[in-house]
Amino acid sequence: MNRFLLLALFLVFGFPLLAGSDSKPVCLSLPDCETKADATTIHRKKISLLTFGLTEYAKDTPVEKLIPIYLKRVRSIILEANGDTGYKGEIVLKVSHKPEYKQSQMLKAEEDLKFLESNQSLLSKEQSSELTELKILFSESK
C-alpha cells in the first residue's frame, strides 16, 4: 500500500519536474542563435534569439564578432517598438504598443547603440554607415 502511495505521489509531483528538465536550449551557440535570428522576419523572435545568444554565449567572444549581432538586435528592437512586427504574410501586421512598453524597448535600443558607439573604432565602413542609419531611426522613433 505504501509503495502504491509513493508511486502515485511520484507520478503526480515528481514526473512533471523531470519532464521539464529535458528541455533543449533555444540555440546551441552564438553563431547558431544568429543563424536562427537571420532565418526569421519576426522582430520579437529575432530579439529573443539574439538576446539569448549574447546572454549565454558571448562572454569570451571578441567584440568584433559581437558588433553584427548588436546591429541586428538594435534594428529589430527599434522596428518592433515602432509597431513593425516583421510578419510577412498576405497582410502587413502592425501593432500599437502602450507608451511604457515602447519606452522600455527604446531604452534597450539606446543601450545597444551606446555599446556600438563605444566600440566605433572596431566597426567596418559598412557597419559605421548602418550605425548612423540606426541612430537616425532611433531619434525619429522617440
Is pLDDT above 70 for 11? Answer: no
Cell of 140: 525619429
Q: What is the pLDDT of residues 47-69, one digit of tens each?
A: 999 999 999 999 999 999 999 99
Written as nine digits, the cell of 21 is 528538465
Q: At 94, is the pLDDT very low, low, confident or very high (cuts 50, 70, 90)? A: confident
pLDDT for 1: 56
Q: pLDDT (tens digit, 9 = 90+) per residue, 115-142?
A: 999 999 999 999 999 999 999 999 999 8
Q: Give tens-digit pLDDT for 27-48.
A: 999 999 999 999 999 999 999 9
Q: Which of 75, 79, 31, 78 has its CA nearest to residue 53?
A: 31
